[in-house]
């Protein structure tokens, strides 16, 4: 019997055991029964974490868009595939059926071909949350081009770094975007980025805000006239199971962003299977994930996972606060949303607004609530459970990463009893483990350690674009023969997992994964700055906010410190984007360093947290006296309002 849809706890344990005992057999059955293949595989899995090399369904031939679109046409042609809800609530929502999606993706795919894009070429997509974003992603997949979506909140510098890292030939963008009451000049940002990207020879521009933008002759083309001319038929490129499907950048604790490479067959199978079970999706449900397609959540659980199941997936262009803080709930009522998937930072921001904006709306369509991106604190969990789910809709606290491609630790709603702040149990096929600092596995329950995974799953990223060594060093070197997640976790008395947070120099701010090193590099660009160190500190809406310790070159610097703070944040905005701005900046004369010159961030973190009673061992510091001076100087960061 097929194990595609898990319906009760007994079944979960049974299927879980089977998936662990014989993973190849288990995934083969799922792949065989629920997807469309041009040719089946010769081998289900081969892997070696020491290289690392992981291959799923080797020898198989397929195209993911045939699975996400074509195979639904006979039975679901007139069903809504994508339901687009615009930024402005008085603009009409758009229902794109599977048939229309097929035509639009094929037209777009033909335009890409006509513009010289071939299988294996990289295409950068820098678009707001409008239908063209999902359609261009699928159009790339249709012809075997590798898409690299860059979140349209990133700056020109961040965009050009990503374009150059993977040698994109083309950029797909729009004239601009709406963000609540504001408009953003996306094309202007692209123009600036492309000044340093010599490999891009064509830019396709969608019209969204009808602003008067500059079109560069020979390089820039309006998208719509090309689409109008293109045919609605485009044969799907036949892909190998392990051909790259996309690159998606994520921040690391050091250096430049990592272009995580996801491949075709395993990614498809795993995102589809998790979507079906984690959201208990039923045929006529309307599913809404509020993430942006610029992040992995949007790739896996707005586009590929839902469409592979023939679902109706909502794309929302706007923000939760526009025209007021009731917007999410208004949309839930308007489209009768059944599954709602969002981030803790949004829940906390909305909880602050009081219940009036919630109670105005009928939320009775909701069946399942999801949370992703960072640990959900107890208060936010209860607010979500009580006021949005009315204690009737289970919360799935889903733990996963850009690198994992799909959800890894999660309750299955109506199957796994939930527990506030716990991501609960591993999903089918996932073998998590906790490691101690000496590299030993921690057995038993009621323990905590570093979260690793012992065995490959189908959607694990296969490499970092252009840097396989970094892939190995980052994920497979800390513990032998294990994938290291970078997170700490604890396991309770019944084996439920709770993710406690990052154990490296990545800080999650409003659900965005930010590495400290690139932000420090940006701060150090300021001509007055000699050195800087950035740590996180708790923030009631963002989860964490950033605290910067900055050493100025000239100790007698007389310039207004608040101006310097603004200038530093301006540089961060230009280099990375506004999401990486510092909430607090403390000017200091020194930073605590070990004898080998490494900044002791543990101490800086404690000071930023106001937790100075026990700073731990400072005896290995080269300059222990600096610690007291930083504590004394902290008020200059706390008391300022800028
Ligand atoms: C990091 C990955 C997965 C898509 C969005 C983020 C943190 C994610 C949870 C959760 C606690 C979580 C982890 C992880 N994280 N989900 N449910 N509970 N922490 O993807 O940007 O690659 O970030 O987000 O620290 O390592 P990402």
User: Based on the domain organization, do 620 and 565 belong to the same domain?
Assistant: yes
More confident residue, 428 or 636: 428
Inside any domain, residue 495: no
Closest residue CA from atom 1 of ligand 1: 401
CA dihedral 264, 267, 270, 274 (to 10 degrees): -130
Residue 119 has pLDDT above 50, yes or no: yes
High-pLDDT (> 70) share of the chain, %: 98
Inside any domain, residue 429: yes
Inside any domain, residue 6: no
The string of pLDDT tens digits covering residues 371-385 is 999 999 999 999 999
In this prediction, residue 642 has a pLDDT band, given cuts at 50, 70 and 90, of low
- Please state, rounded to an integer, the average pLDDT across all residues of the chain: 95
Q: Give, for ligand 1, the residue of 298, 409, 497, 499 to mutate: max count of ligand atoms closer than 8 Å to Cβ.
A: 499
The string of pLDDT tens digits covering residues 360-371 is 999 999 999 999
- Residue 374 near residue 508 (C-beta atoms within 8 A): yes
**Token pair for 637:** 């960061």
The string of pLDDT tens digits covering residues 582-637 is 999 999 999 998 777 778 888 999 999 998 888 877 777 888 889 999 999 988 78
The string of pLDDT tens digits covering residues 392-407 is 999 999 999 999 999 9
User: Based on the domain organization, do 464 and 600 belong to the same domain?
Assistant: no
Q: Range of 555's domain? A: 508-514+522-638
Ligand 1 mean position to 14 CA, how many Å?
A: 27
User: Based on the domain organization, do 436 and 526 belong to the same domain?
Assistant: no
User: Based on the domain organization, do 464 and 568 belong to the same domain?
Assistant: no
User: Based on the domain organization, do 550 and 634 belong to the same domain?
Assistant: yes
User: Based on the domain organization, do 417 and 562 belong to the same domain?
Assistant: no
Helix (H, G, I), strand (E, B) or coil at 245: strand
Would you say the CB of residue 513 lies under 6 angstroms from ligand 1? Answer: yes
Total tally of structural domains belonging to the chain? 2
Mean pLDDT over 131-144 rounds to 99
**Token pair for 584:** 């607090």
Domain of 622, CATH number, reads 3.30.300.30
- Give the Å distances, CA to CA, from 516 to 252, 346, 465, 469, 483: 8, 23, 21, 21, 22
User: Based on the domain organization, do 308 and 186 belong to the same domain?
Assistant: yes
Number of CB atoms found within 10 A of residue 533's CB = 22
Inside any domain, residue 344: no
Is the Cα torsion angle 138, 139, 140, 144 positive or negative in sign? positive
Closest residue CA from atom 8 of ligand 1: 373
Would you say the CB of residue 131 lies under 6 angstroms from ligand 1? Answer: no
- Concatenating the DSSP letter of every residue in 279-343 gives TT--TT-EEEE-S-TTSHHHIIIIIIHHHHTT-EEEEE-S-TTSS-TTHHHHHHHHHT-SEEEE-
More confident residue, 502 or 387: 387
- Tell me what pLDDT residue 1 has: 46
- Tell me what pLDDT residue 3 has: 83
Would you say the CB of residue 456 lies under 6 angstroms from ligand 1? Answer: no
The string of pLDDT tens digits covering residues 530-560 is 999 999 999 999 999 999 999 998 877 677 8
CA 435 – CA 451 distance, rounded (Å): 7
- Give the Å distances, CA to CA, from 28 to 45, 324, 455: 9, 48, 16
User: Based on the domain organization, do 405 and 463 belong to the same domain?
Assistant: yes
Inside any domain, residue 170: yes
Inside any domain, residue 362: no
Residue 421 has pLDDT above 50, yes or no: yes
Ligand 1 mean position to 486 CA, how many Å?
A: 10
Ligand 1 mean position to 255 CA, how many Å?
A: 20
Ligand 1 mean position to 363 CA, how many Å?
A: 27
User: Based on the domain organization, do 585 and 449 belong to the same domain?
Assistant: no
Inside any domain, residue 426: yes
Inside any domain, residue 452: yes
User: Based on the domain organization, do 528 and 468 belong to the same domain?
Assistant: no
Ligand 1 mean position to 378 CA, how many Å?
A: 17
Domain of 230, CATH number, reads 3.40.50.12780
Helix ranges (H only) for 377-452 are 378-383
- Residue 173 near residue 206 (C-beta atoms within 8 A): yes
User: Based on the domain organization, do 546 and 467 belong to the same domain?
Assistant: no
The string of pLDDT tens digits covering residues 255-274 is 689 999 999 999 999 999 99
Ligand 1 mean position to 374 CA, how many Å?
A: 5
User: Based on the domain organization, do 450 and 565 belong to the same domain?
Assistant: no
Chain length of the chain: 642
Would you say the CB of residue 373 lies under 6 angstroms from ligand 1? Answer: yes
The H-or-E segment that residue 106 falls in is: helix 98-114
Residue 197 has pLDDT above 80, yes or no: yes
The string of pLDDT tens digits covering residues 85-118 is 999 999 999 999 999 999 999 999 999 999 999 9
Best-predicted range by mean pLDDT (99-108, 344-353, 561-570, 573-582): 99-108
């Amino acid at each position: 019997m097929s194990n595609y849809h898990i319906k009760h706890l007994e079944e979960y344990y049974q299927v879980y055991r089977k998936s662990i005992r014989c993973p190849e057999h288990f995934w083969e059955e799922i792949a065989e029964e629920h997807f469309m293949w041009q040719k089946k595989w010769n081998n289900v899995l081969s892997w070696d974490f020491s290289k690392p090399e992981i291959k799923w369904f080797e020898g198989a031939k397929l195209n993911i868009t045939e699975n996400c679109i074509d195979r639904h046409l006979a039975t679901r042609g007139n069903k809504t595939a994508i339901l687009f809800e615009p930024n402005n609530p008085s603009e009409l929502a758009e229902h794109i059926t599977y048939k229309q999606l097929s035509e639009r993706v094929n037209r777009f795919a033909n335009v890409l071909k006509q513009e010289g894009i071939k299988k294996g070429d990289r295409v950068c997509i820098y678009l707001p949350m409008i239908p063209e974003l999902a359609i261009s992603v699928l159009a790339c997949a249709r012809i075997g081009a590798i898409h690299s979506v860059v979140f349209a909140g990133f700056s020109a510098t961040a965009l050009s770094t990503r374009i150059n890292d993977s040698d994109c030939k083309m950029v797909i963008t729009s004239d601009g975007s709406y963000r609540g009451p504001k408009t953003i000049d996306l094309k202007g940002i692209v123009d600036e980025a492309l000044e340093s990207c010599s490999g891009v020879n064509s830019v396709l521009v969608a019209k969204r805000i009808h602003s008067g933008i500059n079109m560069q002759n020979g390089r820039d083309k309006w998208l719509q006239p090309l689409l109008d001319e293109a045919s609605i038929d485009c044969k799907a490129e036949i892909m190998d199971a392990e051909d790259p499907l996309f690159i998606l950048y994520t921040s690391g604790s050091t250096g430049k962003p990592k272009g995580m490479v996801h491949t075709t067959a395993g990614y498809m199978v795993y995102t589809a299977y998790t979507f079906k079970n984690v959201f208990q999706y039923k045929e006529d449900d309307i599913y809404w994930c509020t993430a942006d397609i610029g992040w992995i959540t949007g790739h896996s659980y707005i586009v590929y996972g839902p469409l592979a199941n023939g679902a109706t997936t909502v794309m929302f262009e706007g923000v939760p606060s526009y025209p007021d803080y009731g917007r999410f709930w208004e949309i839930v009522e308007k489209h009768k949303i059944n599954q709602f998937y969002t981030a803790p930072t949004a829940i906390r921001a909305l909880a602050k607004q009081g219940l009036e904006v919630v109670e105005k709306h009928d939320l009775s369509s909701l069946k399942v609530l999801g949370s992703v991106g960072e640990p959900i604190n107890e208060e936010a969990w209860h607010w979500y459970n009580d006021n949005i789910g009315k204690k009737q809709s289970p919360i799935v606290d889903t733990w996963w990463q850009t690198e994992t491609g799909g959800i890894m630790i999660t309750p299955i709603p109506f199957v796994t009893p939930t527990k506030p702040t716990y991501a609960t149990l591993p999903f089918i096929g996932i073998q998590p483990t906790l490691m101690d600092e000496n590299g030993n596995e921690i057995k038993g329950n009621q323990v905590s350690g570093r979260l690793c995974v012992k065995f490959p799953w189908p959607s694990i990223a296969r490499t970092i674009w252009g840097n396989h060594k970094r892939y190995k060093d980052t994920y497979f070197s800390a513990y032998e023969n294990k994938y290291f997640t970078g997170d700490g976790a604890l396991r309770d008395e019944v084996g439920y997992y709770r993710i406690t947070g990052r154990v490296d120099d990545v800080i999650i701010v409003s659900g965005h994964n930010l590495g400290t090193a690139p932000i420090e590099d940006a701060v150090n660009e300021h001509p007055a700055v000699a050195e800087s160190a950035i740590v996180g500190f708790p923030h009631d809406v963002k989860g964490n906010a950033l605290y910067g310790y900055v050493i100025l070159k000239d100790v007698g610097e007389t310039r207004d410190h608040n101006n310097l703070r603004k200038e530093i944040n301006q540089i961060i905005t230009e280099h990375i984007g506004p999401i990486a701005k510092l909430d607090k900046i403390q000017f200091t004369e020194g930073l605590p360093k070990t004898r080998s010159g490494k900044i002791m961030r543990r101490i800086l973190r404690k000071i930023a947290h106001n937790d100075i009673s026990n700073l731990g061992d400072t005896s290995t510091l080269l300059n222990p006296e600096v610690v007291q001076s930083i504590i004394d100087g902290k008020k200059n960061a706390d008391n300022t309002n800028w």
